[in-house]
Amino acid sequence: MSHVPPTPDAAAARIDVVNLTARYHGRPAVADVDLAIEPRQVTALIGPSGCGKSTLLRCMNGLHLTVPGASVTGQVLLDDADIYAKDSNPVEIRHRVGMVFQRPTPFPTMSVRDNVLAGLQLGRRLGRGAPHDEIAERALTKAGLWHEVKDRLKAPGASLSGGQQQRLCIARALAVEPEVLLMDEPCAHLDPISTLTIEDLIREIKETYTVVIVTHNMQQAARVADTTAFLTMSAVGDPGRLVEVGPTERIFSSPRRQTTEDYISGKIG
């Protein structure tokens, strides 16, 4: 590995989910999903609880397979290469496809600065001479957090507010210069102001990255997503399936399927 820091704006990648079924202990949680995720766009996954949004999202960086008893069939093509192919390297995939979780998860024993740099310390991606401070600043600036924390870089990550912690996690994910950023209900535990801050941030980072966001909040999907995919299951215990996908505006104004309309208008879910 070279000791040159990663290029600031790595190319955004596209993802094609092809006939994907994800299972836990043999039971499918989402089935037969075909979904194209365009680069430099925000794609939202919406649908009722338990329809497999998180599972689908976690299939896109292979995290799904780290769960005991989990399996997948089908393909997830990251710039045309199947991440589930025999010769693909899961560690490298997760390096290219970053993820932000529902609950902010800064590493509790690390400072703000070390949290941001955590991903870069892995596998010696960053040489000793690398400009750590600049990289940390750049990532924190991208996450819109720099001005709030520049005087407390040494403070523990856990000492920040919930919204700040979530942006710290975004900065940590962005610091490794991924090509895709997956976000699983990133605002579920945040107050309205922090939520809006993060939505602004999402609109900004899609200029350089591919973003996939799971959300329960339909206004949020309408505000940030270019494309929206709606999943649902036909009955409790059945796997979730992709019902409809299209430009966000179209999905919300004139859904083609009755179930989509019912969900958006609040009749189900």
Partner 1 sequence: MNPLPGSPTPWRRVRARRGGTDTVFRYAVRSAAAMVIVVLVATAVFLVQQAWPALHQYGILSYLGSDRWAPSEATATGRHPNPYGIAQFVYGTAVTSLIAMVLAVPVAVAVSLYLTEIAPGWLRRPLSGLVDLLAAIPSVVYGFWGIFALIPAVRPAGVWLSRTLGTAPVIGPLFAGPFFGVSYLVAGLVLAIMILPIITAICREVFATVPTADKESALALGATRWEMVRMAVLPRSRSGITGAAVLGLGRAVGETIAVTMVIGNNVLSITTSILGPGSTMSSVIANEFTESTEPFHLQSLMVVGAWLLVIALVVNTVGKLIVRRTGEDIA
Contact residues: ligand ATP, CB under 6 A: 24, 29, 49-55, 67, 216
CB of 246 to Mg ion, least distance (A): 22
- Indicate the DSSP class of residue 47: -
CB of 60 to ligand ATP, least distance (A): 12
Task: Give the span between the Cα atoms of 103 and 185, in whole angstroms.
Answer: 8
- Rule CB under 8 A: is residue 71 a binding residue for partner 1? no
- Rule CB under 5 A: is residue 43 a binding residue for Mg ion? no
Q: Which of 21, 43, 54, 208 binds Mg ion (CB under 5 A)?
A: 54
157 binds, among Mg ion, ligand ATP, partner 1, none (CB under 5 to 8 A by kind): none
Interacting residues of 153 by C-beta distance below 8 A, sequence separation 6+: 111, 112, 113, 136
- Rule CB under 8 A: is residue 127 a binding residue for partner 1? no
- Rule CB under 5 A: is residue 215 a binding residue for Mg ion? no
Task: Give the span between the Cα atoms of 165 and 1, in whole angstroms.
Answer: 31
Tell me how far CA of residue 46 lies from CA of 131, 148, 185, 269, in angstroms: 40, 32, 10, 10
Residue 69: count other Cβ atoms within 10 Å of its Cβ.
9
Q: Which of 21, 61, 165, 194 binds partner 1 (CB under 8 A)?
A: 61
Q: Which of 9, 32, 34, 92 binds partner 1 (CB under 8 A)?
A: 92
| Contact indicator for 111, 157 with CB cutoff of 8 Å | yes
- Rule CB under 5 A: is residue 232 a binding residue for Mg ion? no
| Contact indicator for 120, 172 with CB cutoff of 8 Å | no
CB of 265 to ligand ATP, least distance (A): 18
Q: Which two tokens stand for residue 41?
A: 């766009």
CB of 193 to ligand ATP, least distance (A): 23
Residue 25: count other Cβ atoms within 10 Å of its Cβ.
9
Q: Which of 10, 36, 118, 196 binds partner 1 (CB under 8 A)?
A: 118
Counting Cβ atoms within 10 Å, is residue 133 exposed (0-12), middle (13-18) or buried (19+)? exposed
Beta strands at 241-247 and 227-232: parallel, antiparallel or unpaired: antiparallel
CB of 237 to ligand ATP, least distance (A): 8
- Rule CB under 8 A: is residue 99 a binding residue for partner 1? yes
- Contact segment (CB under 5 A) with Mg ion among 48-56, 141-149, 187-195, 219-227 equals 48-56
Which chain residues interact with partner 1 by CB under 8 A?
61, 63, 66, 68-69, 91-92, 94-96, 98-99, 101, 103, 105, 107-110, 118-119, 122-123, 169, 172-173, 176
Which chain residues interact with Mg ion by CB under 5 A?
54
